[in-house]
Amino acid sequence: MTVPFHTADLLPLFLHFVMLSLLAVGGAITTAPDMHRYLVGEQHWLTDAQFTASVALAQAAPGPNVLFVAVLGYNVAGMAGAFAAMAGIMLPSTTLALWATRWGRSRRETRGVRAFTLGLAPLTLGLLLATGWVLTEPARDSPGAMLLVGLSAVVMARTRLSPMWLVALGAAVGAAGYA
Amino acid sequence: MRQPQSCGELFRVFTLLALQGFGGVLAVAQHELVERQRWLTRDEFLEMLSVGQVLPGPNVVNISLMIGDRFFGWRGAASALAGMLAAPLVLMLALAMLYGQFADNPRVSGALRGMGAVSAGLVLAMAWKLVGSLEKNPLGLTTCLALGALTAGLVVGLRWPLVWVLAGLGPIAIGLAWWKLRP
């Protein structure tokens, strides 16, 4: 069950995404488990199925992957939610990127910067695994859907096929009632 | 090498580029900016990518900011960012609204479940590809896998907030890498 969203909840929603923006060192998708924890587990604004459907919907449209945040926000609180979530996830990271670009370009090879990227790489791996786990939640009781998870993981890891085709296949299999 | 003539051109090129990117824009961005527009060399693109990866935020968005900033300062950065996000955002929200109308239709919700399963697979493939690059990590593959498993366990097993996990494990991992990189 979900809990109704009030206008006063827009500020905490915005602030949660502001915080996640600064933690998204491995890309926005690595913060998806925390979005799930907050939106589904703690606030009950979305169900598991709605959460995964939001991420899936974002795969069906072109553009940077970060736009799944707008769909999550939209499904929590309509247009206002979409803009609160999107502004939250974009503002800190873009400000920081502009400020740090010149600083970072000349220091890319220094020990500190290299230790930062190399040290965080295994954490990014853990967060991607966690994201994969969270997204399979609605699929776990359906053999067809789990087969789709495995198939798309193998095809993407081993071939250079555009993910667009896999998304289309998933939509077709699901619409036919097998997922 | 060519150069964008105006902020409007930056906006236009980034809009077209973003609208071609299904399931990620990075590959399209490289093709469009390096080979078609020739605003950057391949090496410059890779250098921007590695800086973009250090920063929080989506890589490809960070790259659009850097390119815009390089040609027209903050106005260029804003134009490139707007180009990257505006049209796809409108399209995405239209799709979300449409989905809202048909969410109860079993075919639509089935299609979304199928696409959700594929999304999960795509993310797991990203994880798999990352394991390949961890083989060259100075921490060593075993330590990397242990840190990765610990992160995943704390996040989905114990459901710790991400900020605790990164504040706890981040300094340890970075410190370890710093020590391993000593000259």
pLDDT digits (tens, 9 = 90+) for B61-80: 888 999 999 999 999 999 99
Interface predicted TM-score of the whole assembly (ipTM), two decimals? 0.85
* pLDDT averaged over every residue in chain B: 89
Q: How far is A8 from chain B (nearest CA, A)?
A: 22
| pLDDT averaged per 10 residues, chain A (length 179) | 88 96 86 95 94 86 89 95 96 87 70 86 91 89 94 90 86 92
pLDDT value, residue A102: 67
Q: How many CB atoms lie within 10 A of CB B13?
A: 21
Interface touch B114/A34, C-beta < 8 Å:
no
Task: Name the closest residue on chain A to residue B133, using Cα atoms.
Answer: A121
> If you count DSSP H runs as helices and E runs as strands, how many of each does chain B have, helices first?
7, 0
Higher pLDDT, B28 or A48: A48
Q: Which of B60, B95, B115 to mutate to test the interface with A (most CBs of A within 10 A)?
A: B115
CA distances from B135 to A3, A49, A82, B142 (A): 45, 36, 39, 9
Query: Nearest by CB to A119, which of B51, B122, B174?
Result: B174
Query: Nearest by CB to B66, which of A101, A139, A156?
Result: A101
Can you tell me the mean pLDDT for B129-151? 92
| Chain A residues whose beta carbon lies within 8 Å of the beta carbon of residue B56 | 21-25, 92-93, 96
Query: Nearest by CB to A93, which of B57, B99, B116?
Result: B57
pLDDT value, residue A26: 76
Interface touch A132/B92, C-beta < 8 Å:
no
CA distances from B162 to A135, A165, A175, B18, B175 (A): 17, 32, 35, 29, 19
Q: How far is A69 from chain B (nearest CA, A)?
A: 10
The length of chain A in residues reads 179
Q: How far is A29 from chain B (nearest CA, A)?
A: 8
**pTM metric for this prediction:** 0.84
B23 pLDDT tier (thresholds 50, 70, 90): low
pLDDT value, residue B25: 79
Residues 6+ apart with CB under 8 A from A18: A88, A89, A91, A92
Q: Above 90 in pLDDT, residue B32?
A: no
CA–CA dist B98, A75 (Å, integer) = 12
Can you tell me the mean pLDDT for B40-50? 80
| Chain B residues whose beta carbon lies within 8 Å of the beta carbon of residue A131 | 123
Assess contact for B113 and A161: CB atoms under 8 A. no
> Which of B126, B111, B113 is CA-nearest to residue A139?
B113
CA–CA dist B86, B10 (Å, integer) = 13
Q: How far is A7 from chain B (nearest CA, A)?
A: 20
Find tokens 């990227």 and name the residue: A117
Assess contact for B57 and A97: CB atoms under 8 A. yes
pLDDT in tens, B147-162: 999 999 999 999 899 9
CA–CA dist B131, A109 (Å, integer) = 22
Judged by a CB distance cut-off of 8 A, whether residue B29 touches chain A is no
